[in-house]
Structures are given as C-alpha cells and as structure tokens.
C-alpha cells in the first residue's frame, strides 16, 4: 500500500488543520508511503473526487480526514470498488471511527497506513442518498440542521443547540413499512442505524454490526420530562432496549412516511437534507472496503 490519497476537510471539527498536510506527508514519507491530497471545498466535492479517481491511476487507499460527513462522501466515491477507505477522525463527533475502534489521536489513526485489516461493510440508500453510519428524523435531525447552519463547531456547540431545541420540540408522526411489519405512531426521534453509536457517544443501536446484512430503525417515543434522565442514562450505557420509550425494527428495506408531508428533514452521516416523502431505504450488503485496526478483526468478522 504505497500510494495513499488523503481527502482533507479544512473546516471539520474544532481542530487547527494548518499543519495537518505536513504532518501526514512526513509520517508517510518516514514509512515509505507516497501521500497525495485532495481538499474539499463544499462545492461538488463528490463529483470532483470521482473524476480524480477515474482519470488517474487509483491509489491503494483513500483516507477521509474529517468528520462523519467527509467519511460518508469518500465512502460513496469508493463504494463498489476495490479501493479501501481509511479514516482519520478529525470531526466534532467521529461516530463512524468510534464504531470501528479507530483511534481518535491522529498519529495512532495514521498507523492504519501500514498496519490494518480490511473489512467489507454494508451501506444504505436513504431517500436515494448514500449513507454508511446513522441517519435520523425528528429531534436530532433538527439539531444537526441548526449545527450545520451555524458558524461554531465542536461538541460544546452541539450540546448547546440540543438543549435549546429540546425545550420547544414537538414529536412527529411516522408510518413505517418493512418486509416484516408495519408501525405507526408518534416519535421523538427515529434513527435508521447501520451502526451503533453517535459521535456524542449515545449508543442508539447496541450489539449490531456494520456488516450483518441488515439495519435497524430505532424509535424513541415521546416521553415526559421526568423520564429524560433515565432514558439518557440508558442511551449512554448501551441499554437502549430496556426503556419503555424505545423500540427497534430490524429489516433489509423500509419505507417511512410522514403523514401530510411531501418532504422531510433527514440527517445523513452528520449532514442535513430535505428528502422526498415517503423515504425509501435499502441496504447494499458488504459494498464498501474499510481499513480497520487489526484488534477489531474478531469484532467485525462478517457473519457467514
């Protein structure tokens, strides 16, 4: 694995990126790797990256250096190919990296350039858009939209917005159809989970894997204020299923309708979108190669 392409997001997280390029280049040079760089601008990044990959000799791996949005964009460019994705978690949340046990420290994450396993992970299409980690409707989607529209990054800004949003938030009504069952009712939040953990360390989908050939729809029902501390405790201790206000639906495909709505706000891997309603969801099994630390091999071993 000699030629490595690093996709850099200069505004992700609250980390100073000024020296990032030099640090990566020096690290790779010391270990006999050739580092090349692609800077995101927020304008046609996916198309520009695809053009680069189509018109030059393919690198041996492409590393996303940023948050979950950057990781998802690079993953979409690589899905279905033989080029693996590497992750340098430099965002505000880094939920995907946490679920894959990728170190959050830059030098430790860079070790994936020379020591790693390669896993085949599932990907999703949500309303026609690509996602690899977590998508949701309801409360968190509203928070992510305000966060994305603001100028301040970092976990502190997210917590402040979430606290402000909670006081006036009204749950929505959803109709869910899967190949196994139908559900309709009010939900405070509805998460489409290919993985386990939000960047905030909330475990929304415990004991599931990114390569198990299915995804979960995780529901949090409206709850009284007095129940909030207990519910929050369960979400931070991988105890999602024990609450009276939670439910999970496992499936390979689903359709979600918001009665009376022609479109709905959806958060996809940390980025907000307005998607046509109903929202169709489908899974592409083991469609993405990802570099992971060797120690996670047993945890992420595909089921046969």
pLDDT in tens, 62-79: 999 998 889 999 999 999
Plot region of 59 (φ>0 → left; ψ -120 to 50 → alpha; else → beta): beta
Query: Could you give the CA distance from residue 113 to residue 276 in angstroms, rounded to a whole number?
Result: 40
Residues 236, 151 share a domain = yes
In a domain, 163, yes or no: yes
Residues 167, 72 share a domain = no
We report the CATH number of the domain holding residue 202 as 2.60.200.40
Residues 266, 153 share a domain = yes
Residues 117, 147 share a domain = no
**pLDDT (0 to 100) of residue 303:** 35
Residues 221, 140 share a domain = yes
Contacts of 1 (CB under 8 A, 6+ apart): 33, 60, 61, 113, 114
In a domain, 110, yes or no: yes
Q: What is the CA radius of gyration of the chain?
A: 19
The DSSP code for 87 is: E
Residue in the block written with tokens 């998802």? 72
Residues 118, 73 share a domain = yes
Distances in Å between the Cα of 303 and the Cα atoms of 30, 68, 119, 120, 295 are 37, 25, 12, 11, 18
pLDDT > 50? residue 172: yes
Query: Could you give the CA distance from residue 236 to residue 253 in angstroms, rounded to a whole number?
Result: 28
What does the pLDDT average to over 226-240? 93
162 — pLDDT class (breaks 50, 70, 90): confident
Query: Could you give the CA distance from residue 170 to residue 28 in angstroms, rounded to a whole number?
Result: 50
**pLDDT (0 to 100) of residue 89:** 93
Residues 223, 256 share a domain = yes
In a domain, 218, yes or no: yes
Query: Could you give the CA distance from residue 160 to residue 181 in angstroms, rounded to a whole number?
Result: 37
Structure tokens at 223: 């709850």
Query: Could you give the CA distance from residue 8 to residue 17 in angstroms, rounded to a whole number?
Result: 9
16 — pLDDT class (breaks 50, 70, 90): low
Structure tokens at 182: 């139908």
> How are beta strands 189-193 and 271-276 bridged, if at all?
unpaired
CB 290 within 8 A of CB 85: yes
The residue with greater pLDDT, 303 or 47, is 47
Contacts of 127 (CB under 8 A, 6+ apart): 266, 273, 275, 276, 279, 280, 281
In a domain, 10, yes or no: yes
In a domain, 301, yes or no: no
Residues 88, 34 share a domain = yes
Plot region of 36 (φ>0 → left; ψ -120 to 50 → alpha; else → beta): beta
pLDDT > 70? residue 11: no
12 — pLDDT class (breaks 50, 70, 90): low
3-state secondary structure of 243: coil
Cis check: omega of the bond before 258, within 30 degrees of 0: no
We report the CATH number of the domain holding residue 44 as 3.40.50.10330
In a domain, 17, yes or no: yes
In a domain, 90, yes or no: yes
**pLDDT (0 to 100) of residue 237:** 92
144 — pLDDT class (breaks 50, 70, 90): confident
Residues 95, 12 share a domain = yes
pLDDT > 60? residue 100: yes
9 — pLDDT class (breaks 50, 70, 90): confident
pLDDT > 60? residue 24: yes
Residues 154, 273 share a domain = yes
pLDDT > 80? residue 152: no
Residues 59, 196 share a domain = no
Query: Could you give the CA distance from residue 119 to residue 134 in angstroms, rounded to a whole number?
Result: 18
- Indicate the angle between helix axes 45-55 and 68-78, nearest 10 degrees: 40
Classify residue 2 as exposed, middle or buried by CB count within 10 Å of its CB (0-12, 13-18, 19+): exposed
List residues bridging with 277 in a β-sheet. Answer: none
The b-or-e profile of 262-277 (16+ CB within 10 A means b, else e) is: eebbbbbbbbbbebeb
In a domain, 302, yes or no: no
The residue segments making up the domain with residue 228 are: 129-285
Residues 166, 244 share a domain = yes
**The total number of structural domains that make up the chain:** 2
Weakest mean pLDDT among 8-22, 138-152, 229-243 = 8-22
């Amino acid at each position: 694995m000699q030629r490595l392409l690093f996709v850099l997001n200069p505004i992700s997280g609250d980390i100073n990126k000024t020296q990032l390029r030099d640090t990566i280049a020096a690290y790779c040079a010391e270990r006999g790797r050739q580092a090349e760089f692609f800077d995101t601008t927020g304008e046609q990044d996916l198309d520009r990256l695809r053009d680069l990959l189509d018109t030059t000799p393919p690198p041996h791996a492409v590393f996303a250096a940023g948050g979950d949005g950057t990781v998802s964009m690079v993953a979409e460019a690589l899905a279905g190919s033989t080029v693996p994705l590497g992750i340098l978690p430099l965002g505000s949340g880094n939920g995907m990296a946490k679920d894959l046990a990728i170190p959050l420290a830059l030098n430790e994450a860079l070790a994936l350039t020379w020591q790693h396993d390669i896993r085949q992970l599932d990907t999703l299409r949500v309303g026609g858009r690509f996602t690899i980690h977590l998508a949701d409707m309801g409360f968190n989607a509203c928070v992510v939209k305000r966060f994305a529209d603001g100028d301040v990054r970092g976990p502190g800004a997210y917590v402040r917005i979430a606290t402000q949003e909670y006081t006036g938030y009204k749950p929505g009504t959803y109709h869910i159809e899967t190949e196994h069952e139908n559900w309709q009712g009010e939900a405070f939040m509805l998460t489409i989970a290919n993985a386990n953990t939000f960047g905030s360390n909330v475990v929304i989908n415990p004991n599931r894997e990114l390569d198990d050939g299915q995804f979960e729809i995780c529901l949090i029902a409206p709850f009284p204020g007095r129940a909030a501390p207990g519910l929050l405790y369960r979400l931070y201790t991988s105890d999602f299923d024990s609450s009276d206000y939670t439910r999970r639906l496992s499936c390979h495909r689903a359709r979600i309708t918001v009665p009376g709505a022609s479109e709905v706000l959806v958060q996809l891997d940390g980025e907000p979108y307005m998607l046509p309603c109903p929202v169709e969801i489908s899974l592409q099994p083991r469609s993405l190669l990802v570099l992971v630390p060797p120690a996670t091999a047993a945890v992420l071993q595909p089921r046969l």
